[in-house]
Amino acid sequence: MSNLNIDYCDLALAGVRKLQPYQPGKPIDELQRELGLTQIIKLASNENPFGPSANVKQGIINSIDELSRYPDGNGFNLKQALAVKHDVAAQQVTLGNGSNDILELVTRAFVGERDEVIFSQHAFAVYPIVTQAVGAKAVVIPARDWGHDLTVMLAAINENTKLIFIANPNNPTGTWLGEQAICDFLDNVPKNILVVLDEAYFDYARHAAMQAEDYPDGATLLTRYANLLVTRTFSKAYGLAGLRIGYGLSNTMIADVLNRVRQPFNVNLLAQVAARIALDDTIHINYSVEMNARGMQQITTACAELDLNYIPSVANFLCIDMGRPAQDIYTGLLHQGVIVRPVANYEMPNHIRVTIGTQAENQQFLSALKNVLNTI
């Protein structure tokens, strides 16, 4: 009997069968192959346009000869440094193969088929994926002004609720919550329900929010809320998306559980070395964050001139409202060599999400956008 008579998809777990794969931003190589363009810029995955620092690159080169060895499975040096940075114990730190790894680990370790996971409409796409993968029920709360509606999220809690995801700021909307709102929420969540506070854009948000309301540092809330898991990443402001490294901060018992389900060597050797160096690269981070603020100004000013609405953002990306289905505009931009992110899969068919790039990249995006809007 031929194996082809078997539908192997049908053998997968129920939650997995219904899963749609995560749609990443289009890689530059792929667009090159498809359209034969040479001058391509990618502003689609919220990467740091200034890349890793010179120190990090040198550190990676210095470690190249160690590649035949397994990495430190416990990430001792990096955990120590993170513990100092956040004023927590090293046992409260969990390292991940990107912070996505932590989001997946916490769901896999704590959430079962009869459980419910709460998150907002328009929230980061990984939350529904990890929820569905374990066969749990996703409770999606309608957004308010594109952001999380914490009051309605609280009201949705019932005896089956196991986990709540909050992205602060949220991707793709760039919306954010102040410290008072977060604390009022956490004060009312029963302590047997875990709350993940996803702070992937922490450094950008901290800088952008300074003039506005207070933007909380989740790490400082850990002593008050034992059910809190804060996630951070080196993929965004630290410029290390390609190496895949992020981490979680929580009480030691939650960290202990995550540590039991993770792969033995989930964070690779170069990632550990690079992250350790990047942590001390204050000048590079400050520069990146400052340039992001200027780039944000550059793009929002141009949007106003073009009469385009956008969702105010404290991150390194902006959702621009095209006032019509944005798919054609996305495709038009591709033909001009500019990759942005369509967000129809986030129930935002009229928006495109653009990552803030270098000043020149932002200019190229804006010129391309004007061309496309003129020809459509």
Ligand X SMILES: *Cc1c(COP(=O)(O)O)cnc(C)c1O
The SS3 assignment for 120 reads: strand
CB 357, CB 339: distance < 8 Å: no
CB of 38 to ligand X, least distance (A): 28
> Which one among 100, 175, 266, 364 touches ligand X, defined by CB under 6 A?
100
> Which one among 110, 124, 146, 346 touches ligand X, defined by CB under 6 A?
124
Q: Toward ligand X, which CB reaches closer, 105 or 167?
A: 167
The residue number with the shortest CB distance to ligand X is: 98
Q: Toward ligand X, which CB reaches closer, 233 or 251?
A: 233
Question: What is the x/- site pattern for ligand X, positions 223-242, by CB under 6 A?
Answer: ----------x-xx----x-
| Contacts (CB under 6 A) with ligand X, residues 237-296 | 241, 246
CB of 363 to ligand X, least distance (A): 25
Between helices 252-261 and 99-110, what is the axis angle to 10°?
90
| Contacts (CB under 6 A) with ligand X, residues 128-167 | 167
Parallel/antiparallel/unpaired status of strands 317-321 and 351-355: antiparallel
Exposed (0-12), middle (13-18) or buried (19+): which is 299, by Cβ within 10 Å? buried
Q: Residues with Cβ < 8 Å from 50, sequence gap 6 or more?
A: 239, 284, 287, 288, 291, 358
The SS3 assignment for 96 reads: strand
* Cα gap 61→57, rounded to integer Å: 6
CB of 150 to ligand X, least distance (A): 17
Smallest CA-to-CA distance from 373 within 357, 358, 359, 352 is with: 352
Q: Toward ligand X, which CB reaches closer, 119 or 225?
A: 119
Angle 240-242-247 from CA coordinates, rounded to 5°:
55
CB 218, CB 206: distance < 8 Å: no
Q: Toward ligand X, which CB reaches closer, 182 or 241?
A: 241
Q: Toward ligand X, which CB reaches closer, 110 or 127?
A: 127
Location of structure tokens 């018992």 = 253
Check residue 93 for interaction with ligand X (CB under 6 A).
no
* Cα gap 169→182, rounded to integer Å: 12
Q: Toward ligand X, which CB reaches closer, 99 or 161?
A: 99
CB 175, CB 169: distance < 8 Å: yes
Name the CA radius of gyration of the chain, rounded: 21
Smallest CA-to-CA distance from 172 within 342, 365, 366, 360 is with: 342
> Which one among 171, 175, 292, 316 touches ligand X, defined by CB under 6 A?
171
CB of 131 to ligand X, least distance (A): 14
CB of 246 to ligand X, least distance (A): 4
Check residue 47 for interaction with ligand X (CB under 6 A).
no
* Cα gap 190→77, rounded to integer Å: 35
Q: What are phi and psi of 6, to 5 degrees?
A: -95, 135
CB of 62 to ligand X, least distance (A): 24
Q: Toward ligand X, which CB reaches closer, 222 or 245?
A: 245
CB of 158 to ligand X, least distance (A): 25
Candidates 19-27, 92-100, 295-303, 365-373; binding stretch for ligand X (CB under 6 A):
92-100
CB of 98 to ligand X, least distance (A): 3
Check residue 46 for interaction with ligand X (CB under 6 A).
yes
| Contacts (CB under 6 A) with ligand X, residues 177-216 | 198, 200
CB of 228 to ligand X, least distance (A): 16
In the numeric block, which tokens belong to residue 128? 């529904």
CB of 3 to ligand X, least distance (A): 35
Q: Residues with Cβ < 8 Å from 107, sequence gap 6 or more?
A: 117, 130, 131, 133, 134, 136, 163
Task: Count the site residues for ligand X by CB under 6 A.
Answer: 14
Point out which residues bind ligand X (CB under 6 A): 46, 98-100, 124, 167, 171, 198, 200, 233, 235-236, 241, 246
